[in-house]
Chain A
Amino acid sequence: MRRLPVYLLLDTSGSMTGEPIEAVKNGVQMMIHSLRQNPQAIETAFVSIITFDTDATQVIPLTDLASFQMVDLKANGVTAMGAALGLLADKLQTEVARTTPEQKGDWKPLVFIMTDGIPTDDWQIGYNKLKAVNKGLIVGCAAGHGADDSVLKQITGSVVRLDNADSESISKFFQWVTASISTTSTKVEESGKEVIGMEQLPPPPSELVIIA
């Protein structure tokens, strides 16, 4: 069965402490809960969570929605986004099945990167590694005033901005991510085609401004 791999790259640096990190945890919980009700999503979507602060960690490997269990997230440290991009590149190679004459591989992955800051490491090293292996759609989300969207814009042509990194805005972002995964899982099952641009995702709510 062809899976739809979804990678969430979440900023867990110190600046996310308090309301933002709690909102991110809730957002992921609600997302999984809601996707479990969607027959197409529960069969096709597989979710992984990579967090980045002083280092990048895959806290949840690519997991089907039925067995997915959220873990606790703690905010501290700096913003090693480059390490997260590099880790994502590794995971795309080891976790996503390629099409061969013997088997149909997975659908192209969907990647969401959410950050409230500025990378503190050399993000280009990780980005170059990712560029070489990624075939799917990457959506960047710059959350709050402190987020640097110029780096996200260099990573992907699909960037949204959240003016505030408060729980309301973050929750809206995850609702949109949920809708995007639903839409994509329906689309791949029905037409056999992946989404290739943000314009094929559902329109984001007013809290999310498309900036690239």
Chain B
Amino acid sequence: MVEQFLQQLLTEFNIATSKYSDNTISRLLHHAKINELTKSITAAKKQAINIFQMYSVSEAFKDTPIILPNATAKQAYSFQFDLSAFPHTRIREIRLLDKVGLAFDPVTAQITGVPMVAITVDLQVVFTCGQDEDQAEDIKIIPLIVNADPKDLWLNKPSNKSALYAKEDSDRYAGTFLDKRIVVASQRGRSHAHEGSFRDDHFYTKPLLLGWEIIAVADGAGSAKFSREGSRIATTFIADSFNDEGVLKELSDRCTEYFTPTEEHSTEEQALKHKSAIINILYKSVRSLHTALSNFATQEQVQLKDLNTTLIFALVKKFEYGYVVLTFGVGDCPINVITENPHEVKLLNQLDIGEFGGGTRFITMPEIFTNEIVSRFAIHRFSDFSKLVLMTDGIYDPKFITENKLEDKAAWDMFWADLAGENEDQAKVDFLQPNGIDQQLLSWLDFWSKGNHDDRTLAIIY
């Protein structure tokens, strides 16, 4: 070691090797002072190179990208640092992490916690490199983004109560429906609440003469300026239009003859005649509703399409031969019946589903009044039913996703379980207790579903 040390020293001092230098080296090999100096200089060099390496690791660590996945406010977050490539590097603390609401454990090298607010912060990661007493400390900056809880980003601005055709942001109703009960709730969607605009949905239910009752639900088009009024007129006008003794008497008689033919040899032809008569009565009301909407638009000097709204209704009466349910639908809102015996789910109306947007139909559109409108009406009889449900797409988009699930028993079982409280908010609708059920349903309507913030209206006859 001494020999090598001396030779390197000579090179460093530009002393050429000669006979004398070799002899001198030999002589000094056992020189005490030289031996001591060699040891201490080698040790000093080693120490210096260790320090160099330590700082070099520190630089490398600072330069190595470490990406913290973005966090979201109010959601648990955890991140495990992987320091396997840096065996002598330790993270001592992370400054500013407390500002985010997270904590760092130096032993496990883990960040955990639940961030409370949205923030973007450059974390100061204090780390050390090296072993024992020789340690270099430095700071590495790692950005961390905490997204807002999406729920907090939605504003809830009240709608302008003094605006034209102002409407309450929510509505609810509970009562009897024939020998059953009805509960309905309608809630302004978050997208409307965010902008302080109105609820466009509407519902109306009413007992009519001669034992008939009606429930109507309408979804005003988001793109139409005054659709909130269109949906109000559509539901109230249609219900009132049937409340005529002459009309309902004929409707009752025709239904009875259609379902329980009295003549001994009733023919298919006769059945068809009664069926057309029933549909004709329904058609007249729907037609007069369209006229009423046109007149309203003219009178208010707005365009008819400003009132664009869908409409579904069920006109129901209990006869000795069962419940007659007459339905109509334009647009994409479903009417479903659930029977116990047999256990079945049926969609009672055809839906206008617009693939790529263009196909939605509204009661305000003159083009729906063609011969094909017949298929929008339906005549049903049930000896009994357990639920009759009308809803807007604000409900079925998040809860049923696609239209074909509307006749899927499993999807409906999940829906009832959801209403019974099996949901994130534990919002429960108790069908056994009529008091306060409308408020329960309205609260349930507040459910959170990413990307689904439309107005929600749900009517259940049970």
Q: Which residues of A contact B (CB under 8 A)?
A: 1-2, 33, 36-40, 42-44, 65-69, 99, 101-104, 108, 186, 189-194
Chain B residues positioned under 8 Å from A40 (CB to CB): 191, 194, 453
Q: Which of A44, A104, A186, A192 has the most CB of B within 10 A?
A: A192
In the complex, the answer to whether A190 meets B222 with C-beta atoms within 8 Å is yes
Interface centre among B190, B354, B402, by most chain A C-beta atoms within 10 angstroms, is B402
Residues of A within 8 A of B355 (CB): 99
Chain A: CB-nearest residue to B153: A39
Query: Do the beta carbons of A42 and B451 come within 8 Å of each other?
Result: no
User: Which B54-73 residues have C-beta < 8 A from chain A?
Assistant: 67, 69-70, 72
Q: Which residues of the other chain, A, contact B41 by a CB distance below 8 angstroms?
A: none
Apart from A40-B453, A43-B450, A66-B72: 11 A-B pairs, beta carbons within 8 A: A1-B451, A33-B120, A39-B150, A39-B194, A40-B191, A42-B153, A43-B451, A104-B401, A189-B191, A191-B222, A193-B223
Which 3 pairs of residues, A with B, have the shortest CB-CB distance?
Answer: A39-B153, A1-B451, A193-B357
Can you show 9 pairs from A to B with CB atoms below 8 A apart? A36-B148, A38-B153, A40-B453, A42-B147, A42-B153, A101-B404, A103-B402, A189-B453, A190-B192
Within 8 Å CB of B191, what residues of A? 40, 186, 189-190
CA distance A58 to B192 in the complex (A): 36
- Contacts A189-B453, A192-B222 hold; do A43 and B150 have CB atoms under 8 A apart? yes
B437: CB under 8 A from chain A? no
Q: A37-B148, A67-B69, A104-B402 are in contact. Are A194 and B357 (CB under 8 A)?
A: yes
Residues in A whose Cβ lies below 8 Å from that of B357: 191-194
CB-CB under 8 A from A104, the residues of chain B are 401-402
Residues 402-416 of chain B, each 1 if its beta carbon lies under 8 Å from chain A, else 0: 101000000000000
Asked whether A189 lies within 8 Å of B451 as measured between CB atoms, the reply is yes
Q: Bound complex: CA of A24 vs CA of B72, how far in Å?
A: 26
Q: Does B221 contact A (CB under 8 A)?
A: yes
Q: Given A43-B451, A67-B70, A186-B191, do A191 and B150 touch, yes or no (CB 8 Å)?
A: no
What is the interface size of chain B, counting residues whose CB is below 8 A from a CB of the partner?
A: 32
**Cβ of B144 to closest chain A Cβ, rounded Å:** 11
Check if B70 sits within 8 Å of A66, measured CB to CB: yes
- Cα distance, A101 to B223, chains bound together (Å): 26
Q: Which residue of A lies closest to B71 (CB)?
A: A66
Question: Is B52 interfacial (CB 8 A cutoff)?
Answer: no
Please, which residue of chain B has its CB at the minimum distance from the CB of A37? B153
B interface residue numbers (CB < 8 A to A) = 67, 69-70, 72, 118, 120, 145, 147-148, 150, 153-154, 190-192, 194, 221-223, 354-357, 360, 401-402, 404, 450-454
For A38, the chain B residues whose CB sits under 8 A away are 153
Interface centre among A39, A40, A68 (most CB of B within 10 A): A39
Contact A44 B70 (CB under 8 A): no
- Chain A residues whose CB sits within 8 angstroms of the CB of B451 once the complex forms: 1-2, 43-44, 189
Closest to B354 in A: A192
A42 neighbours in B (Cβ, 8 Å): 147-148, 150, 153
Residues of B within 8 A of A101 (CB): 402, 404
Q: In chain A, what residue has the closest Cβ to B151? A: A39
Q: Does B147 lie within 8 Å of A103, measured CB to CB? A: no
Complex CA distance for A204 and B404, rounded to whole angstroms: 42
Give bound CA distance, A6 to B191, whole Å.
21
Q: Given the complex, which residues of A lie within 8 Å of B454, measured CB to CB? A: 189-190
Distance in Å from the Cβ of B417 to the closest Cβ of chain A?
Answer: 21
Residues of A within 8 Å of B153, CB to CB, are 37-39, 42
Given A189-B453, A191-B221, A194-B357, do A66 and B147 touch, yes or no (CB 8 Å)? yes
The minimal Cβ–Cβ distance linking A28 to chain B, given in whole angstroms, is: 14
Residues of B within 8 A of A44 (CB): 451
* Complex partner residue of B401 from A37, A103, A192, CB under 8 angstroms: A103
A110 to chain B, nearest CB (A): 15
> In the complex, A194 Cα to B194 Cα: how many Å?
20
The answer for the CA separation of A67 and B222 in the assembled complex, in Å, is: 30
Q: How far apart are the CA atoms of A189 and B195 in the complex, in Å?
A: 13
The minimal Cβ–Cβ distance linking B331 to chain A, given in whole angstroms, is 12
- Chain B residue nearest to A2 in the complex (CB): B451
A44 to B70 CA separation, bound complex (whole angstroms)? 17
Q: Which residues of B contact A186 (CB under 8 A)?
A: 191
CB-CB under 8 A from B72, the residues of chain A are: 66
Shortest C-beta distance, A146 to chain B (Å), equals 33
Minimum Cβ distance to chain B for residue A100 (Å): 9
Instruction: Tell me the bound Cα distance from A112 to B222 in angstroms.
Output: 27
